[in-house]
Amino acid sequence: MKDKINEKISEKKTDKRSGNSSDRASGRKSGGTSGETSGNSSALSLYLIFVKSEFKRWVREPLTRVMVAYPLIFGLIGRYLLPYIEENTGLIIALYADLILVMLTLMMPLVFGILMGFSILDDRDDNVLAAVKVTPLGLNRYFSFRVIMIFICTILACLFVILFSAIADLGTGRVISIAVLASLAAPLTGLFINIFASNKIEGFAIFKGFGALIFFPIIALFFTDFKELFFAFAPGFFPAKAISSSIRGNEFMFLSYNQYIFWGWVYGIVLNLLAYRYFRKKRKV
């Protein structure tokens, strides 16, 4: 991907040197409109390069290839394996529907978070970030692209797992809002990996530590009074309680469904902004 970026930079410099005085005069008369259009076109082409490169990287490496398949794996577990276990063991899934759905759903942000984290680690090792600085994209747009791309992929994965597993009927509106809320943890995971890790070995260690936070929202499901707030520091707390509220009903919860969604959004956005600022400051990018 670095070679493609450098190629785009060389093309831009060549075009700039080959421009004659009449082109420059025309650009001044048009008020810079053509230059702005050209810049937008260059940025768009770079976005496309990043998207293609990212998906190729995910498919090329054995570890990430398996992780990309996780939504399908977890969806199949919920759709076929759990009913099979229920039929042959007498386990009543309905009694643990919120617990099961929370575990399946919260795994998606972790999976795509590590994909984002390792992609940025690779780009740091390959000095891609230095090349991005001199492109029309810039580092802010580059990281925005990373966050938006992984955020959308995580939303789609959460939607698939919740709907395909068919463990509980939450309603279309609630499924979408829960999927969006849960997906805020994906870029947060990727940023945390890059804040504390300098290579993939350290990245795995950070991922395992950050992944352990998934147990706190699960534990919180067993509390329905103010004591559940002791676990609210975990990013997955609010989507977990929103799922539980949708299945059990608001009368059995400390907060209402809408309150879990609202405060989850506030908390998730603030955490991501703080993590991004700290990442830029620590890594000096």
Decide: helix, strand or coil at residue 198. coil
Contacts of 74 (CB under 8 A, 6+ apart): 104, 107, 108, 161, 165
- Cβ(108)–Cβ(161) below 8 Å: yes
Taking only Cα atoms into account, the Rg of the chain, rounded to an integer number of angstroms, comes to: 22
**Structure tokens given for 190:** 């990727």
How far is residue 46's CA from residue 132's CA, in Å, rounded to a whole number?
10
Report phi then psi at 200, rounded to 5.
-70, -30
Contacts of 17 (CB under 8 A, 6+ apart): none
pLDDT of residue 27: 44
Model pTM score? 0.77
Closest CA to 174 of 241, 116, 100: 241
How far is residue 2's CA from residue 9's CA, in Å, rounded to a whole number?
11
Host H or E run for residue 174: helix 172-183
Quote the crossing angle between the two packed helices 33-60 and 2-18, to the nearest 10°. 160
- Cβ(156)–Cβ(111) below 8 Å: no
Residue type, 192: F
pLDDT in tens, 87-137: 888 788 888 888 999 999 999 999 888 888 888 887 777 777 777 777 666
pLDDT of residue 13: 43
pLDDT of residue 149: 84
- Residues of the chain short of pLDDT 70, as ranges, are 1-51, 53-55, 57-59, 61-64, 135-137, 283-285
31: left (phi over 0), alpha (psi -120 to 50) or beta: left
Quote the crossing angle between the two packed helices 138-165 and 97-125, to the nearest 10°. 150
Domain ranges of the chain: 51-283
Host H or E run for residue 37: helix 33-60
Decide: helix, strand or coil at residue 235. coil
pLDDT of residue 281: 82
pLDDT of residue 181: 95
Contacts of 142 (CB under 8 A, 6+ apart): 50, 129, 132
pLDDT of residue 17: 45
Quote the crossing angle between the two packed helices 33-60 and 138-165, to the nearest 10°. 50
